[in-house]
Amino acid sequence: MDFSAWVVDLKTLTATHDSGFRLEIEGNPRDPSAVHPGKFPKGLSSIDQVRLVRTGVEALASESKQARAKSTAAVKKAYVPPANKPKRDTLSFKKSLNRKSTLKPEDETLEEGV
């Protein structure tokens, strides 16, 4: 049995194996909150059943990852600033850390005595 022969439908969040086994998930395909397996083909051992479910969930996750990569590659920035936009100084209310104190030494002694 070929465990990698899956047909994935991301709209309905289902995966169908060539043997007729169908798997439905709830939630995110890459991290499903629930997995609903259908009826297993007859004559399949319990280890092969588990392997079939695992490969089905992996097929859904990989297909979702590929679809997401395709959709994000096509999205462009919402705003692109024009190339001829002039550079302007930015106004800021923050005090500069490199600026020296404007107090004179005699002013400091007055504040201490008060």
State pLDDT tens for residues 35-89. Answer: 999 999 899 999 999 999 999 999 999 999 888 877 776 667 778 888 888 888 8
Length of the chain: 114
Q: CB atoms < 10 A from the CB of 22, how many? A: 15
**Segments making up each domain of the chain, as ranges:** 6-74
Torsions phi, psi of 19, nearest 5?
-80, -10
Q: Is the pLDDT of residue 24 over 70?
A: yes
Confidence of residue 96 (pLDDT cuts 50, 70, 90): low
Task: Identify the weakest region by mean pLDDT among 10-24, 56-70, 96-110.
Answer: 96-110
At 99, the pLDDT band (50, 70, 90 cuts) reads low
Per-residue pLDDT band at 29 (split at 50, 70, 90): confident
Sign, CA torsion 6/13/28/31: negative
